[in-house]
Chains A and B, each alone.
Chain A
Amino acid sequence: MNKTKGTIINLILALGILVVVFPFIYMILTALQKNSYVLPHPQDLFDDLIHFKFYLGNFAKAWTEGNFQRYFMNSLVVASFATVVGVFISALTAYAFARFQFPFKEPLFKIFLISMMIPGLFNIIPIYTVVHSLGLVDTYSGLLLVYVCTGIAGNTFFLRGFFEQVPREMEESVVVDGGGRWTIFRHIYLPMSKPAIATQAIFAFMGSWDEFFVALTLIKTESKRTLPIALQMFQGVHGTEWGLFFSASLIALIPSIIIFIIFQKYFVQSGQNEGAVKG
């Protein structure tokens, strides 16, 4: 009985995978096709697959074209910093809301929440003027500032809940040892909320890794641009070379997958910290 059920569940999951993965396979097959401004015939793609006829020129071209590698590194730096700084500041703020008592705390938190409901897309011009008046246009500091700060509301909202579920009794051991709020935060809250913070880190990384609008607006020097801008450059005015565009997109996907693999093991730790994140 249990065995058939197991088979069915595994089968459903495997079928689902097909649906999720297939678009990517098709993307890879297209990337392995030589020069296609026009739609390739699907049958041709599959025939090439069967005959192992792969063309790697698109990947080579995408990787070496223009400043692609440089943009790749730029993005890596920006996204890494934005993740570390962003998660740290949001954790501090979330801790403030979770474990401190101060006047207007809840109204303030409500404002955090409301701000998330107004579409951020249109904030770009006011944000630009702020960065401009700080003299940070065309700098990574400016870009980081925007990435970190625009994420604060959402991240705080997410982390506060996790912090509040850390049992307060756990603080006592630190207090007994004479530790203050900071020690409690560092030695209890951060480690206890590892799954939440790992999740947050992935989102923060993805958010800045893929961000296009702000980066293009703030960064003026070509050599300082980030990867999403390079991807857009593969979209021509009068036609797109699909193979080239998809090759570049696939290369851009690799760091995200690596980050996910690194963080996911912290992410969900079955059985280890029972009670830390109560449902």
Chain B
Amino acid sequence: MKNSLPADPFVQAKMSLRQRISIGLKQYGEVFPYLIFGLVGFLTFSVYPIVKGIYMSFFNYNIINPALSHFIGFANYIKVFQDPNVLISLRNTLLYSLVTVPGQWILGLLLAILINAKVTKFKVTFRMIYYIPVITSWIVISYLFKYLFASGPDGFINYLFYSQLHLLPSPINWLENPWTAMTVIWVLGIWKGLGWVMIIYLAALQSISNDYYEAAMIDGAGDKAILRKITLPLLKPTTVFVLINLIMGSFNVFIQVYTITNGGPLGQTEVLLSYMYKQAFQFMDFGYSSALSVLMGIAVFILTYSQQKKIGQSNI
């Protein structure tokens, strides 16, 4: 926590428990008006549901008549490790993460740097247009992609690449084969997300003080050197923020899969969330679904936490 307060001298000194409690209480008294709304809301609507989910994961849970649920220990967790569909869903989720996180990140960063370049005209227009996919609803975009990638020569993508450009030997049944269907889902993810990365980086880029650049110019550094030696290092905290958000977002991939393939063909494009959704609301197995959800939370935590540690301590 580099940027937080210089440690309170009272805390540093050795104090009796009583003193510490009284100081703590005093501190809480001060922070109370600022903290209380957020904290209560957070505990009620974020922590309580999670705790409830953990609780449910140890039961054969009847969601409508909880009294009819019975405790089954770790059975749901054991089932997770024996369920071949979990492996497929996990594989697809990881693939989605591996493809779309770097995809959005690199393209978004590149866009931000290009738009921020001195020579670029119409900066505001570019920024505006690249951002439109971000502000469009996931559901609408998912239907739109399903529509664009329709199979046969009348699907727009097939029309473009097969009928017009002749780059494809025949129209592709995009959504009917696991790998092409997943490609569609990946393309959607990158297409929709890169505007967000761009905007975050633009904010960071534009707030880098000009002094740095001027100093570098005086030293005779070239564009590339400035980018490598000044811009990118200064963007590091932003990068941590962007990556953590992208990783968490990628693990939560759901609506596009649910809308475009609903896991098909043969459950081959299922991701963790769509599989959990199915378990809960289609098969009504809330205990099992909760167990999956808990395990996934732990996995994401380990992944992003280590990331945060590695790239450097920062609260961003």
Q: Is the CB of A42 within 8 A of B156?
A: yes
> In the bound complex, what is the Cα–Cα distance between A249 and B234 (angstroms)?
40
CB <8 Å contact, B296 and A119: yes
Binding site secondary structure of chain B: helix
Chain B residues with a Cβ closer than 8 Å to the other chain, count: 108
Known: A89-B37, A276-B207. Is A126-B49 also a contact (CB below 8 A)?
Answer: yes
User: When the two chains form their complex, are residues A261 and B133 in contact, meaning their CB atoms are under 8 A apart?
Assistant: no
For residue B127, which residues in chain A have a CB less than 8 angstroms away from its CB? 264, 268
With a cutoff of 8 Å between Cβ atoms, the chain A residues found around residue B44 in the complex are 130, 149
B273-287 residues with Cβ-Cβ distance < 8 A to A are 273, 276-277, 280, 286
Let me know if A117 and B38 touch, CB within 8 A: no
* C-alpha spacing A99/B273, complex, angstroms: 37
B27 touches A123 (CB 8 A): no
Please report the C-alpha to C-alpha distance between residue A103 and residue B200 in the assembled complex, in whole angstroms. Answer: 32
A195 — nearest CB in chain B belongs to which residue?
A: B203
B128 near A264: Cβ-Cβ < 8 Å: yes
How many chain A residues touch B (CB < 8 A): the figure is 106
How many residue pairs at the A-B interface have CB separations less than 8 Å? 279
| Chain A proximity mask over B175-213: 1 for CB below 8 Å, otherwise 0 | 000000000000000010001000110111111111000
A72-97 with Cβ < 8 A to chain B: 89-90, 92-93, 95-96
B35:A228 contact, CB within 8 angstroms: no
Chain A interface residues toward B at CB < 8 A: 2-3, 5-6, 9-10, 12-13, 16-17, 19-21, 23-24, 26-27, 30, 39-43, 89-90, 92-93, 95-96, 98-103, 106, 108-109, 111-112, 114-123, 125-127, 130, 145-146, 148-150, 152-153, 156, 158, 160-161, 164-165, 181, 185, 195-196, 199, 202, 206, 209-210, 212, 228, 231-232, 235, 240, 242, 245-246, 249, 252-253, 256-257, 259-261, 264, 267-271, 273-279
- The chain B residues found within 8 Å of chain A, CB to CB, are 1, 3-5, 8, 11, 20, 24, 27-28, 30-31, 33-35, 37-39, 41-42, 44-50, 52-53, 63, 111, 114-115, 117, 119-122, 124, 126-140, 143-145, 147-148, 150, 152, 154-156, 159-160, 163, 191, 195, 199-200, 202-210, 234-238, 241, 248, 251-252, 254, 272-273, 276-277, 280, 286, 289-290, 293-294, 296-297, 300-301, 304, 314-316
